[in-house]
Structure 1
Amino acid sequence: MCVISYHLQLFLNMKFCLLTMILGCLYFQHSLQQMDSKPLVTIFYKPLCPYSQIFITNVLYPVYADLGTYIQVDFIPYGNIKRQQVNDAWTYECQHGPEECAISRLQACGIAKSREQDSHMEYVYCIESEVDTTTDIQTLAQCASKLELPGDEVLKCVEGPEGDKLVGLFGDKQQILAPDLSGVPTVYINNTNLDDYTALKKTLCDILHNNPEACTKKLQE
């Protein structure tokens, strides 16, 4: 009798473990499907381009405030940088001078050191809101507080080889996703170019079938 009970208990335990694994897999699959179903907004921009600044501060940021929960955002602060690789090191030439290259590194470093999308948005917005009054890297590095990181940690990345490598990775990514990029800002939604980036909210709401309550509000012009 004791032997039968032992085997029965073992069988029940195995069934319970198997059921737990199945439910766990189903939950994980459902989470991935939810993640994959979110529209992906990819932004190619130059940190000191006035049009990029206006888009990020006046269009993207308010849209994200309404729809951030429902979308994924990928910042690529690269624009039309010219680059050369000598051995294992990159050199960059930016349209708006070395200050813009430094700010690209600053944004690349901050984004790489934080995985939180909300933090990325606040960090990029903080920098783009300040560049009209200063391009001083030490000052702009204070925006790292939006990532809950010390400015010194981000500056160390900016001033070392890590920053150059991260910008190079953005360049590789842009070359793959938008090899014919001409002007910025350029916005892709699910890897398709959005011709009119001022229509970002309307386009996203169409994709989301106007389900979020924010989509019932007046769309931005």
Structure 2
Amino acid sequence: MSVKTTTAFFVALTLIVVNVSHAEGFALQAKKLYDWPNTENEKQNSVPRVTVSIYYESLCPDCINFFTNQLAPNLVKYYKYLNLDFLPYGNCKQEKIDGKWNFTCQHGAPEFAKNKWQACSINVLPSKPKCLAKYITCYMTSVHKSHTGYLCAKKLGLLQSYKKIKDCYQNDDFSNELMAHYGNRTHSFTPPLNWMPSIVFNGVYNKTDQQDAENNLPKAICRHLNPKPAKVC
């Protein structure tokens, strides 16, 4: 399977988003993860973009290394050329017993909790992709072992969103469905993802992109931008 990258490339990804109609009311609703063009900054609609899907898990050292040494230092420079698609699930397993989801993650219950917090963050901040990217990156690179979600929200001026994320997280029925959603996407990907993080460009995985993303993210991004922006490539 091959995909030719064009400036009008569109990936029809879907995301379950949170609809809060009451203090504790959540509804599952299908929504496109990315609209084309990106409505956050209409002046940048004409720039080439690449969709980068990041399959990862919260306590994986290699995942933390990717966020710390590749995504964080390049986010500001390359953000307007990216549609970032975060999938916080990794090497977890899931099964539904008596109508309830059960999850087992590679790094135990703490990792599942952190994955789930990020899943709720993605659903609370879907209309603010730049804020979301900064928040997830802050969360993954934080040196604080506890209260990371709150500290990153405070740092980025997202305390109002923090309460919504917390409400989502504490609603186990809803947040576990979110995790199952990311689990289904992770488990159904072809070829099977045997390494975390797995970095996928425009919906297609290949080893060259993976190696470059982990060691030289700008090189991988520029490979997929057409035309290539002279200022960054």
Question: Same fold judged by TM-score > 0.5?
Answer: yes
Tell me the equivalent position of 1:205: 222
Shift of 1:122: 0.9
**Which is richer in strand?**
2
Tell me the equivalent position of 1:46: 57
TM-score by length of 2: 0.70
SS of the aligned residue for 2:210 comes to coil
> For residues 150-189 of structure 1, what are the structure 2 equivalents within 5 Å?
150-160=161-171, 161-178=173-190, 180-189=192-201
Aligned CA distance change for structure 1 residues 169 and 144 (closer, same or farther; 3 Å): farther
> Quick check: which has more Rg, 1 or 2?
1
**Which is richer in helix?**
1
Structure 1 counterpart of 2:68, one-letter code: T
**1:143 is aligned to 2:152:** yes
Aligned CA distance change for structure 1 residues 195 and 129 (closer, same or farther; 3 Å): closer
Aligned CA distance change for structure 1 residues 36 and 180 (closer, same or farther; 3 Å): farther
**1:88 is aligned to 2:99:** yes
Distance across 2 between alignment mates of 1:168 and 1:35 = 35
Shift of 1:57: 1.7
Residue by residue over 1:178-204, the C-alpha shift from the partner in whole angstroms, topping out at 9 and shown as x without a partner, is: 461111011000112223122321121
Aligned CA distance change for structure 1 residues 100 and 31 (closer, same or farther; 3 Å): closer
Root-mean-square deviation over aligned CA pairs: 2.4
Distance across 2 between alignment mates of 1:35 and 1:177 = 30
CA contact (8 A) 2:71 2:137 kept: no
Aligned CA distance change for structure 1 residues 97 and 147 (closer, same or farther; 3 Å): farther
Aligned CA distance change for structure 1 residues 74 and 147 (closer, same or farther; 3 Å): farther
Q: Unaligned 5+ residue runs, structure 1?
A: 1-29, 216-221
SS of the aligned residue for 1:41 comes to strand
Distance across 1 between alignment mates of 2:55 and 2:61 = 14
Tell me the equivalent position of 2:129: 117
Aligned CA distance change for structure 1 residues 117 and 87 (closer, same or farther; 3 Å): same
TM-score by length of 1: 0.73
